[in-house]
C-alpha cells in the first residue's frame, strides 16, 4: 500500500464534517448534545488552521485564495 492510499479522500472528510454539522444543528436534539458537536467542529477548525499555517506557501496560492473568497461572496449575495 502506498502513501496515497493511506490519505483519506477529501470527499470522505467532507461527508464526515457534514455529519458533525447536522448533529450540531439538529433542532430535535438538546443544547448540551449539539454544543458538544459544535465544539468538535471548532476544534477541527483550529487544528486545520494550525496545519495550514505550517504548510509551505505556493506561488499561485494568494490568487487562488482571492478567487475562492470572490466566489464565496457571489454565492452569499445570490442567496
pLDDT 10s digit of each residue in the chain, 79 long?
A: 676 777 889 999 999 999 999 999 999 999 999 999 999 999 999 999 999 999 999 999 999 999 999 999 999 999 9
- Domain residue ranges in the chain: 3-78
Rounded to whole angstroms, how far apart are CA atoms 25 and 19?
10
C-alpha cell at 54: 505550517
Q: What is the pTM of this model?
A: 0.80
> Nearest 5 degrees, angle CA 31-CA 35-CA 40?
160
Amino acid at each position: 500500500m502506498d502513501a496515497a492510499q493511506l490519505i483519506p479522500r477529501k470527499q470522505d472528510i467532507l461527508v464526515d464534517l457534514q455529519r458533525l454539522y447536522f448533529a450540531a444543528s439538529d433542532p430535535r436534539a438538546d443544547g448540551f448534545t449539539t454544543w458538544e458537536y459544535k465544539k468538535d467542529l471548532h476544534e477541527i477548525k483550529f487544528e486545520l488552521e494550525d496545519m495550514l499555517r505550517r504548510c509551505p506557501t505556493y506561488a499561485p496560492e494568494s490568487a487562488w485564495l482571492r478567487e475562492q473568497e470572490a466566489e464565496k461572496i457571489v454565492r452569499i449575495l445570490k442567496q
